Amino acid sequence: MSAGQTAAGLQGLEPGNPFSEADWDTPHGLPPFERIRPEHYLPAFEASLAAHEAEIGRIVGDAAPPSFANTVGAMERAGLALDRVASVFFNLTGSHTNKDLQAIERTIAPRLARHGSAIYLNPNLWARISAVDPAAEPLSEEEHRVLDRYRTRFRRAGADLGPESKARVAEIAARMAELGTQFSQNLLADESGFELPLSGEEDLAGLPPFLRAAAASAATERGGRHSHVITLSRSLIEPFLVFSTRRDLRERAYEAWTRRGEMGGTTDNRAIIAEIVALRAERARLLGYESFAHFKLDDTMAGSPDAAMELLRDVWTPARQRAGAERERLQALIQAEGGNFALQAHDWRHYAEKLRRAEHDLDESEVKPYLPLEGMIAAAFDTAGRLFGLRFEELPEFPRYHPDVRAWRVSNADGSEVGLFLGDYFARPSKRSGAWMSAFRSQERLNGTVTPIIVNVMNFARAPAGEAALLSFDDARTLFHEFGHALHGLLSDVTYPLLSGTAVSGDFVELPSQLYEHWLEQPEVLRAHARHHLTGEPMPEALLERLLAARTFNQGFATVEYAASAIIDMTLHLSAAAEDGLDVPAFEADALRRIAMPAEIGMRHRSPHFAHIFSGDGYAAGYYSYLWSEVLDADAFDAFREAGDIFHPETAARLRRYVYGAGNLRDARAAYTGFRGRLPSIDPLLRKRGLAA
């Protein structure tokens, strides 16, 4: 544990409980995962909640007049023990859960929500924070920002409401925590419970060697009852939809993939969604907002649902037009092959891959041997080294929560420590789907020199024992994307925990991740790191050129499937009708009809499995933020192009100062303007996606 966090140990716990220890004698203060058992968590949560309540009580009961130090600063020093327990527990419930952890999660999630409500709805605490006078004491620029953010948080949590409304807001928060937890656990159950067995050569028809190997590994991991299985891990299901020549099996796989969360029975999420949407709308009304979307976007860079919807509409029209042209070409290909059926959603990826081969002479199975996981990790690290002077040293021994996890010490060029980076790359039944960045410890200086412990969690297909894991170009892009988030956490350079790392506006947080993807697509990076996993030979120049030339291929489809999900999200959280017994499939169908959604394209995330917006509030009425941030990232990378060097030192230094290292030190518009000198234009985004007129 870094200096300054020695107060995090908990009193009153049994001596064998690792959370009773003030210091963990492990590399970089990593949690001692091998010693933490499920039965340790609930006592640790109870003890740390009690400790935090006592800390808040001392702040409220302080006889001295409210000041920044004895109120806001004290708030920032409180809750360290609770943060430590929660960070370990919730990282594991996402990446390596089990029935015991899930039961604890169902118990503790509403308890934590009630605890948070008790703090933010405490009238005496709010009175002290309101009474802090920034003009009466010499506050730094960062301290002004912290005070402002605390006041904003308290108001948005309901601190100005009357007693009855406060009580209802607290009830809503507790119920929402229960519902979000159940949504996530239902989704994981549907995902881990499905498998499509492939028996014999007929079922494997069309599958390239890398996919056959991945399906065999998945079968072994699931007990070996079948020789090959396709699971609902994206790294298996998507390539299966691309390569399988068995149209009937593609349809079965696609049906299972798109119906997660609405298969009936105890794991069906439709009633949960209806209740979540109604509760969000009620909370927004109590807080004085027209809808949950208005509440959510009031504290973002976009500022309003109208601004977000305007961007989505600006992209939707050209994307739908391009998708229509793509559809016609795919249908023509079906007919040219003698097919007498209309293109369906489960056909699109398969025929798009055939068309890509025909138009760009590009086959994904030809590309993957040059994108081994090890090479792409090295590419991400090397890019960070050239941009920010970072160095990565892999640790051979350290505490792991799963044998797959790897760790690297991250340092600056002068050897000073930046933090620890963990990589957890492979799919498994105990891990939820998707890819994400999280923190076991966030950077700050208030409680000593606290260096971050950042983790990237992926769901790549595992290769057979002794073979290299090979990535698709989309997989490699995901790796770069999540590592961009990781850098946002690692490079954070703030004093106060509230402002650390990724704690920024929801439609700004994707800028560091999406911007980092650009370096993967640069010939200079690919020539250095895209090397054959067996021979070490670089990707042939002709193949590299074909790969880059195909970057905007199928972008109508990609943009439509994403934008449709973002539009549904926003429409759902703008709608008052959703409060009166929401019929989720009917609402989706009606909303898609109104925007003329192409029937042959499915939404990237249908509501019953849309974890971004229903497992918590993080991206609710905020899925548009990927597109909003893409406007920023496309414009931001142009700064390097204009400088004539994709690793331009002065531009990279500004990027580190105002984006990757700045946390929430300043408003998102001010942060972007500090880096770029102006706000962005949408034109680079349209060019990037191939949608410019």
Catalytic residue of the set 55, 326, 482, 588: 482
Dihedral sign of CA atoms 56, 90, 168, 46 in order? negative
* DSSP state, residue 70: I
Helix axes 555-574, 270-286, angle to 10 degrees: 60
Nearest to 78 by CA among 109, 54, 42: 54
Q: Are 440 and 453 in contact (CB under 8 A)?
A: yes
> Which pair of tokens denotes residue 64?
């001295």
Angle ∠(467,518,414) on CA atoms, nearest 5: 80
Q: C-alpha distances in angstroms, 676 versus 24, 632, 637?
A: 42, 10, 10
Strands 406-411 and 417-426: antiparallel
Total Cβ atoms within 10 A of residue 610: 25
What is the distance, to the nearest Å, from the Cα of residue 323 to the centroid of all Cα atoms in its chain? 27
Please name the helix (run of DSSP H) or strand (run of DSSP E) that holds residue 334, with its range, or none: helix 305-336
Which residues, including other chains, have CB under 8 Å from residue 120's CB and lie 6 or more apart?
Answer: 126, 153, 154, 157, 158, 159
* DSSP state, residue 539: P
| 3-class secondary-structure state, position 426 | strand
Looking at residue 676, its amino acid is R
* DSSP state, residue 371: -
Q: Are 517 and 689 in contact (CB under 8 A)?
A: no
Strands 417-426 and 453-460: parallel
Nearest to 526 by CA among 508, 507, 506, 547: 547
Q: Which DSSP string corresponds to 113-140?
A: HHHHHHHHT-HHHHHHHHH--TTSS---
Dihedral sign of CA atoms 636, 642, 643, 646 in order? positive
Q: Are 601 and 348 in contact (CB under 8 A)?
A: yes
- Residue count of the chain, please give it: 693
Instruction: Establish whether 21 is a catalytic residue.
Output: no
Q: What is the distance between the alpha carbons of residues 321 and 317, in angstroms, rounded to a whole number?
A: 6
- Enumerate the active-site residues: 482
